[in-house]
Structure 1
Amino acid sequence: MKILVVEDDAETARYISAGLSELGHNVSVAADGREGLFQGSDHDWDLLLVDRMLPGLDGLVLVSTLRAAGVEAPVLFLTTLGGIDDRVNGLNAGADDYLVKPFAFSELAARVAALGRRPRKTQADTVLRVADLRMDLVARTVQRGGADVELQPREFRLLEVLMRHAGEVVTRTMLLEKVWDLHFDPQTNVVESHMSRLRAKLDVPAGATLIHTIRGAGYSIREPRP
């Protein structure tokens, strides 16, 4: 695996790097948080090992920034902070695992192997397509026929739900729950009004309908029929 170790303690970094290299991994080291952010954003890593307390940029900020930038590589925090709140904060920042110092290298190697066995997200997981409509879930962009479509956050979420269920009927109740987090019917036309705006942005300019109303059931997005 291609592994980035972000660790400011030179001796610890050498120890980890040497051990993982002996196991056949391709290891690079960043000595502070800012260098970790630069390298972590610039390469296709299979795994990031990140010290929790780093000079230049805190480990929590580093990981949350990489996640916001769309970096999906698994992250294992290495830290002396072993409290429950510390572990929770690390996981909430986007880490996949947490190992408290001092640790046995055998345990680190086992955790690295376990994270390496997890399936990586692919473009198929982050890009949705229906006909000439394309949604990038990481970049938060939508295109129809190659032209950019500007959507408000709620419109984006509404379209995402429809596209994840392409060809299926999505009921009004499902949309209220998934888009508005409402588990009751507010007796308003909030779904209908948002759907109308979404159609005006997607279907009208393209001259071809993708979003269909299924009378008495809900809505469906599907490829135009020939």
Structure 2
Amino acid sequence: MRLLIVEDEVHLAEALTQILKKHHYAVDVAHDGREGLDHALSGIYDLVLLDIMLPELDGISVLKALRAEGVPMPVILLTAKGEIDDKISGLDHGADDYVAKPFSTGELLARIRAALRRKGDAIAEDTLRFGDIELNTSTLRLTCKGKELKLILKECGLLELLMTRNTAITSKEQMIEKLWGFDTEVEHNNVEVYVSFLRKKLAFLDASVRINTIRGVGYVLEVTN
């Protein structure tokens, strides 16, 4: 899953990025409200950690703009300790939750997991299922018929994207935006490499699930008999 951090305190943003990457989230960072809003409107993020006190455009204004555009993704506000009015305003304008600074890593991760579950993008124990395969996005483990493999992070992210989209076709552009971010120089052949890796691992597990190429369009999961 890809998260967006909108935080003007550079050191805090860097610390959050390292924590989240350690727990297998893909992360992008914006350091002011306008940049954060532009990123958040791209549609590639599963959740936003949004500071309230931001330059250019404050967090509440960013939140209002997102909800006005009909963007439903979860937003967790990062608030100053004791700022009750900010918390109330944020919740009234569509925030899903808030965390008061300073916060513990465990609390933040728990609130992220809870917000994603409410959205419906995660299920019990962070496990996704499609056909005869199961993918645990926390441990990066792919299982099928009692056999198990550990994926690398990009493989897990790619398979997670395909599984959550179910039978919808996913383009290479969507994969690049989701896995690497929209401001990247990654090319289509990078996607093809990871698709090839996943196909070999699915074959090794003797899974009935295949990654089918829709020429000129993208990829889709299918179950073969």
Q: Give the TM-score, by structure 2 length.
A: 0.52
Is the CA contact (8 Å cut-off) linking 2:77 and 2:95 kept in structure 1? yes
- Give the SS at the match of 1:12: helix
Alignment partner of 1:56 is 2:56: yes
Identity of aligned residues (%): 46
The one-letter code sitting in structure 2 at the alignment partner of 1:95 is A
Deviation at 1:83, TM superposition (A): 3.3
Is the CA contact (8 Å cut-off) linking 2:79 and 2:87 kept in structure 1? no
Is the CA contact (8 Å cut-off) linking 1:75 and 1:96 kept in structure 2? yes
Counterparts in 2 of 1:81 and 1:96: CA distance versus 1, 3 Å: same
Match of 1:67 in 2: 67
Task: Report the RMSD for the aligned CA atoms in angstroms.
Answer: 1.4
Matches within 5 A, 1:1-226: 1-120=1-120
Identify which range, 112-121 or 8-17, moves more after superposition.
112-121
Is the CA contact (8 Å cut-off) linking 1:75 and 1:95 kept in structure 2? yes
The one-letter code sitting in structure 1 at the alignment partner of 2:62 is L
Match of 2:192 in 1: none
The one-letter code sitting in structure 2 at the alignment partner of 1:66 is L
Unaligned runs of 5+ in 1: 122-226
Deviation at 1:81, TM superposition (A): 5.0
Deviations 1:51-99 (A, max 9, x none): 0100000100000101101111000000115333221101012100011
- Give the SS at the match of 2:18: helix
Distance 1:15 1:68 in 2: 31
The one-letter code sitting in structure 1 at the alignment partner of 2:90 is G
- Give the SS at the match of 1:71: coil
Is the CA contact (8 Å cut-off) linking 2:3 and 2:28 kept in structure 1? yes
Distance 1:89 1:81 in 2: 15
Deviations 1:109-137 (A, max 9, x none): 1111111111349xxxxxxxxxxxxxxxx
Between Structure 1 and Structure 2, how many residues are aligned? 121
The one-letter code sitting in structure 2 at the alignment partner of 1:76 is I
Q: Give the TM-score, by structure 1 length.
A: 0.51
Deviation at 1:24, TM superposition (A): 0.3
The one-letter code sitting in structure 1 at the alignment partner of 2:89 is N
Unaligned runs of 5+ in 2: 122-225
The one-letter code sitting in structure 2 at the alignment partner of 1:93 is H
Distance 2:119 2:2 in 1: 15
Is the CA contact (8 Å cut-off) linking 2:6 and 2:29 kept in structure 1? yes
Is the CA contact (8 Å cut-off) linking 1:61 and 1:93 kept in structure 2? no
- Give the SS at the match of 2:4: strand
Distance 1:24 1:39 in 2: 20
Is the CA contact (8 Å cut-off) linking 1:51 and 1:77 kept in structure 2? yes
Is the CA contact (8 Å cut-off) linking 1:34 and 1:56 kept in structure 2? yes
